[in-house]
Amino acid sequence: MAVNGEQDVRGAYCCMTIHTLLHLPLTLPPASPAREAGLETFTSGLGAWISKCQTFEGGLGGAPDNEAHGAYAFCVLACLCLLDSPSQAIPTYLDTRSLTHWLVSRQASPEGGFSGRTNKLVDACYSHWVGGCWSLLESALAIPTETSLWHREALVRYTLTCSQAKKGGLRDKPSTRPDGYHTNYSLAGLSAAQYIYTYTQAEQTEEQVTEPEALTAAFSWIFQRPTQQQMKAWCFDKQDMVEPVHPVFVLPFDVVEETRAKFAGIVGF
């Protein structure tokens, strides 16, 4: 993300997010040092490099040969969902069977929350970093919407009874203090547990036809509000509900659409 800086999947996810939302060209500038390596676009070789980030455990590290980590897993899955539909991009570059096993292993019992790495304690921030992976992976695997590969109720219980502080805010775990970071990602994870997010295979838009390089895949996500039966099964009431957030951008859906509309017609700055 900077000259002589780190190279990891956080930068890839941020770069593809910026390109998508701001409608930036994917072709590398003529003077880009990456052209010396034979790369022509910001996505050249990206999927193949991401493949090397999957570890022997099935999880994903920040870069090749790094330890598998929940936050990097989300960055990888979201980045791939920016490049193409989940069903196309994720199975092409990742071993989904071993990844599913690793992600399932992150949800602890009896707590119900997620840990970020093997042999680590539950931490509420992974409610998003790991909990947010499920919508992306389940869409890639075409899992029926009435089925979940993870335990939504357990995460809701952990968030509302363990992570939530009596005086406000959310925290890592009951022995810690609430802070902005854990509040943000706990609520994002709660949104992942309360709504069903699905990818719709829409017909090609005019933008995709006229600009085939444009990254538009992430704009095909929709959400479904829970039924009364699901709310009861997942252990929350209407007063406990948060707003839906886009599963790839982790922003309110209306903010995503407003940003897309604002920059869609801008050619340059």
User: From the candidates 173, 179, 235, 240, which is the catalytic residue?
Assistant: 179
User: From the candidates 93, 126, 158, 185, which is the catalytic residue?
Assistant: 126
d(CA 95, CA 130): 17
Residue 125 a catalytic site member: yes
For 142-209, strand residue ranges (E) read 196-199
Angle at the Cα of 224 from the Cα atoms of 253 and 251, rounded to 5 degrees: 20
User: From the candidates 8, 10, 120, 173, which is the catalytic residue?
Assistant: 120
CB 125 within 8 A of CB 250: no
User: From the candidates 23, 75, 79, 123, which is the catalytic residue?
Assistant: 123
Residue 53 a catalytic site member: no
Residue 254 a catalytic site member: no
- Phi and psi dihedrals of 196, rounded to 5? -105, 120
Residue 120 a catalytic site member: yes
User: From the candidates 72, 75, 152, 172, which is the catalytic residue?
Assistant: 172
Residue 179 a catalytic site member: yes
d(CA 121, CA 182): 15
User: From the candidates 8, 10, 15, 117, which is the catalytic residue?
Assistant: 117
Q: How many CB atoms lie under 10 A from the CB of residue 217?
A: 21
User: From the candidates 19, 23, 69, 128, which is the catalytic residue?
Assistant: 69
Residue 117 a catalytic site member: yes
Query: For 112, left (φ over 0), alpha (ψ -120 to 50), or beta?
Result: left
User: From the candidates 23, 106, 171, 182, which is the catalytic residue?
Assistant: 182
Q: Give the residue numbers annotated as catalytic, written as ranges.
A: 69, 117, 120, 123, 125-126, 172, 179, 182
